[in-house]
Amino acid sequence: MNVMATRPRRLESYVHGAWAAGAREGVPLLDASTGAPVAFIDSSGIDFKAVLGYGRETGGPALRRLSFHERAAMLKALGQKLLDFKEEFYALSAATGATKADSWVDIDGGIGTLLSYASKGRRELPNTRVLLDGDVEPLSKDQTFSAQHILSPLQGVAVHINAFNFPCWGMLEKLAPTLLAGVPAIVKPASQTAYLTELMVRRIIETGILPEGALQLVCGSVGDLLDHVEGQDAVTFTGSAATGRRLKTHKAIVENSVRFTMEADSLNAAVLGLDAAPGTEEFDLFVKEVAREMTVKAGQKCTAIRRVIAPRSYSEALIEALRDRLGKTVLGNPAEETVRMGPLASLDQREEVRARIRDLSADAEIVAGDPANPSITSGDAVAGAFLNPVLLYCDKPGSAQAIHDVEAFGPVSTVMPYDTADEAVDLARRGKGSLVASVFTNDPAFAEEVVLGLAPFHGRVMIGNRVSAKTSTGHGSPLPGLVHGGPGRAGGGEELGGLRGVKHYMQRTAIQGAPTLLSAVTGRWLPGAEARSGGEHPFRKSLAELKIGDQLVTGTRTVTLEDIEHFAHFTGDTFYAHMDEEAARANPFFDGRVAHGYLIVSFAAGLFVDPDPGPVLANYGVDNLRFLTPVNPGDTLQVQLTCKDINPRASAEHGEVRWDCRVTNQTGATVAQYDVLTMVAKTRE
């Protein structure tokens, strides 16, 4: 179906495995530049209780049957397929008021986030269905009672209520971690730009890559859906603080302790350093960044810079530079190549922003841009929601209120001067918690003082300077690997942050019991659990034959002074503790010369390896290496190597095997302990 050719059209919801139009014709959604209808939206007649049930009963089990690697492969295939439809998404995106650059953030940024989670899932998660969280907690001296935290997917549905400003990224940045966790989603895009989300969901469903029920879409109101959420469901919300608060206190959400993640208004600050005087590279970078943040997406970005905190003596030069730069912003219909900033999402939204500028004017004067008379190069001056960038200046920000309270969700920022670093931090904190702040400085002391002052009030803090100028991803870009969310006014939620975002959709459970039973539950051998030694060397076994708990107890080797000296001269590590008896004795940790830790590890390998070619392909590292007891000349070493976990790769002929390695001395004391990581073939040659 060619969506562009048939518009304006009635949007449909994708529920219970089928596309469904609302019972009524619906509310028209207008092109932000021309005012022409793009689509009609309505969701009346949908049985929302059944939508939740379908996700829980059909999507959930299908996703949970897959391992993390299989889900990651699914996200990768989906991301790659979506790239094929990019041009179609871009064409429709212009109707939302987005320029090509804005659409890149939304469309490529969204698909990139999906692909990034696919890759994280493959590289950072095991090929299992349950995650282990942290180390074993030994709860008894004789190792008969221990505990291990695990994370397993919630068995409900994630309801994602999204904002109008990023119809693609806003959906995908939440969907990727949700699906990777093994939880189905119901996406509810903001009505204003839902036509683009709907198009992307159509393409997603058409690929047939997602299991049935993993993704449902509601175009229009969610009706009574929230009345039916339960304790295994999760709700995420991005939008206004007022709606967020209303939903967070919804009866079913409160009564059923439904996880609720909120990302709302955020009065993000950018601080210009005391060292960053006009003429410095940091000053120029700051000007560029503030202007960019004001104009990208016409300032309709949750991370945009709203408060510009600058040394008092540089404020005049800063305003001058910003006025000059903002004045060059070409405003118009984003369908035109030359246009650098498009309109706001709707005329209502523009009225809202103008009202907020009036609120801000109680504290600040407008120093650039006329909110009433946009000067546009293309588009409809009457029906298009155009607004020039508006810069305000507040001379006494310490005693002002509105500039720290009011979010004008458009191309609007306020410059506020400060005199000391403390004062800059105080002003930024007056935003009562934000998604992001940035600090432009080349002075490490200023960076330390201000960043540590800002950190408890922000989900992300970016430092900008001349060194990172070319590589910096910028103030306003949430990244898949970094936390996105902020405390207090920003909603108190957290999204993304790599695997942290996946765990938001999983339940952490402490499992206690005898180690052998814990091993059975978690799939990981742990100290005290049964092990099988004797028989074939475990390095002779392929993944198909190897079992958790397969163990090798090696022969012994006595360490001599000659060994230590040989190792020292051979490697060049002639640290005194290995070479000088008297100096070693003076060291509080040693009782005379000791063997190198790496000599112990090397001897251990010499004791446990099986030398012939076989299923073990490579040793790719060790984890958690600790030297626990010094080894003196004459001590005798022995190794106990136990297969700890087995992680077959979904799309390869090998997998990873983690071995618990314990090196003991003649008294049985552990001298070194670590995990040996190997690649092992799935089958024998």
* Nearer to ligand NDP (CB atom), residue 26 or residue 59: 26
352 is a site residue for ligand NDP (CB under 6 A): yes
> Does residue number 190 form part of the binding site for ligand NDP (CB under 6 A)?
yes
Torsional class of 63: left (φ above 0), alpha (ψ -120 to 50), beta (otherwise): alpha
Site for ligand NDP in 408-427 (CB under 6 A): 409
Look at residues 19, 55, 52 and name the one whose alpha carbon lies nearest to residue 184. Answer: 55
Q: Residue 397 carries which DSSP code? A: G
- Considering only residues 235 through 274, tell me which ones interact with ligand NDP, judged by CB under 6 A: 238-240, 243, 247, 263-266
CA atoms of 117 and 178, how far apart (whole Å): 10
> Would you call 252 helix, strand, or coil by DSSP?
helix
Closer to ligand NDP by CB, 263 or 289: give it.
263
Nearer to ligand NDP by C-beta: 182 or 493? 493
From 71, 122, 160, 188, residue interacting with ligand NDP (rule: CB under 6 A)? 188
Query: For the chain, what's the residue count?
Result: 685
Q: Which span (72-80, 188-196, 492-500, 565-573) binds ligand NDP, by CB under 6 A?
A: 188-196
Q: How far apart are CA 311 and CA 582, in angstroms?
A: 59
What are the structure tokens assigned to 159, written together? 């309801």
Phi/psi of residue 15, nearest 5 degrees: -135, 150
Distance spanning both ends of the chain, measured CA to CA: 50
> Of the candidates 378, 303, 301, 293, which has an alpha carbon nearest to the alpha carbon of residue 342?
378
Quote the least distance from Cβ 263 to ligand NDP, whole Å. 5
Stretch in the footprint of ligand NDP (CB under 6 A) among 86-94, 155-163, 200-208, 510-518: 155-163
CB 556 within 8 A of CB 536: no
**By the rule CB under 6 A, 198 interacts with ligand NDP:** no
Residue placing its CB nearer to ligand NDP in the complex, 170 or 273: 170
Q: What is the 3-state secondary structure (H, E, C) of 51-108?
A: HHHHHHHHHHHHHHCCCHHHHHHHHHHHHHHHHCCHHHHHHHHHHHCCCHHHHHHHHH
Site map (CB under 6 A) of ligand NDP, residues 292-331, x = contact: ----------x-----------------------------
Looking at 26-34, 156-164, 391-399, 422-430, which segment touches ligand NDP (CB under 6 A)? 156-164
Among 29, 107, 114, 163, binds ligand NDP (CB under 6 A): 163
The residue (of 284 and 352) whose beta carbon lies closer to ligand NDP is 352
Bridge partners, 393 (sequence order): 365, 415
**Residue 161 near ligand NDP by CB under 6 A:** yes
Cα dihedral 22→39→85→101 (10° resolution): -130
Question: Counting contacts by CB under 6 A, is residue 164 touching ligand NDP?
Answer: yes
CA torsion, ordered 314, 315, 321, 326, to nearest 10 deg: 150
* CA-wise closest residue to 139 among 528, 517, 521: 528
Question: Residue 106 or residue 449: which is nearer to ligand NDP going by CB?
Answer: 106
CB of 460 to ligand NDP, least distance (A): 14
Task: Identify which of residues 229 and 631 has a Cβ nearer to ligand NDP in the complex.
Answer: 229
Show contacts of 144-147: CB within 8 Å, 24+ apart.
144/514, 144/515, 144/528, 145/512, 145/513, 145/514, 146/512, 146/513, 146/514, 146/515, 146/518, 146/526, 146/527, 146/528, 147/510, 147/511, 147/512, 147/513, 147/518
- CB of residue 378 to ligand NDP, shortest distance in Å: 25
Q: Which is nearer to ligand NDP, 230 or 352 (CB)?
A: 352
Shortest Å, Cβ 188 to ligand NDP: 6
Nearer to ligand NDP, 239 or 384 (CB): 239
Write the burial class of residue 611 (CB in 10 Å: 0-12 exposed, 13-18 middle, 19+ buried).
exposed
Per-residue x/- marks for ligand NDP, 358-397, CB under 6 A?
----------------------------------------
> One symbol per residue from 117 to 146: x for binding ligand NDP (CB under 6 A), - otherwise; what is it?
------------------------------
Please state at what angle helix 169-181 crosses helix 194-207, rounded to 10 degrees: 40
Give the shortest CB-382-to-ligand NDP separation in angstroms.
22
For the segment 526-585, give every residue that binds ligand NDP (CB under 6 A).
none
- Is residue 220 a contact partner of residue 42, using CB atoms and an 8 Å limit? yes
Shortest CA distance to 521 belongs to which of 70, 148, 182, 125? Answer: 148
What per-residue string of b and e applies to 24-55 under the rule 16 or more CB within 10 Å gives b?
eebeebbbbbbbeebbbbbbeebebeebbebb
Tell me the window of 22-30, 189-197, 464-472, 527-535 that interacts with ligand NDP (CB under 6 A). Answer: 189-197
Q: For residue 255, what is the enclosing H or E element?
A: helix 251-255
Cβ proximity of 157 and 15 under 8 Å: no
Instruction: Quote the least distance from Cβ 264 to ligand NDP, whole Å.
Output: 5
Which residues are marked as active site?
263, 302
The strand pairing partners of 230, in sequence order, are none
- Residue placing its CB nearer to ligand NDP in the complex, 220 or 515: 220
Cβ 247 to ligand NDP shortest distance, Å: 6
Nearest approach in angstroms of CB 162 to ligand NDP is 5
Question: With respect to ligand NDP, which residue has the nearer C-beta, 457 or 567?
Answer: 457
Q: Rounded to whole angstroms, what are the CA distances from 550 to 14, 49, 135, 537, 638?
A: 49, 49, 20, 9, 17
Give the strand order in the sheet containing 131-138.
131-138, 146-153, 506-513
Of residues 67, 93, 162, 315, which one binds ligand NDP by CB under 6 A? 162
CB atoms within 10 A of CB 91: 15
By three-state DSSP, how is residue 671 classified? Answer: strand
- Per the CB < 8 A criterion, the answer to whether 183 and 58 are in contact is no
Residue with Cβ nearer ligand NDP (133 or 352): 352
> Could you say whether residue 165 binds ligand NDP (CB under 6 A)?
yes
Smallest gap, in angstroms, from Cβ of residue 265 to ligand NDP?
A: 5
- For ligand NDP, the nearest residue by Cβ is 239
Handedness of CA 323, 164, 483, 486 (dihedral sign): positive
**Closest separation between CB of residue 41 and ligand NDP, Å?**
8
Q: Which residues contact 636 (CB under 8 A, 6 or more apart)?
A: 556, 557, 558, 559, 665, 666
Q: Which of 42, 233, 407, 494 binds ligand NDP (CB under 6 A)?
A: 407
Question: What span, in angstroms and rounded, lies between the C-alpha atoms of 286 and 302?
Answer: 19
Nearer residue to ligand NDP within complex by CB, 239 or 549: 239
- Which positions lie near ligand NDP, rule CB under 6 A? 161-165, 188, 190-192, 221-222, 238-240, 243, 247, 263-266, 302, 352, 407, 409
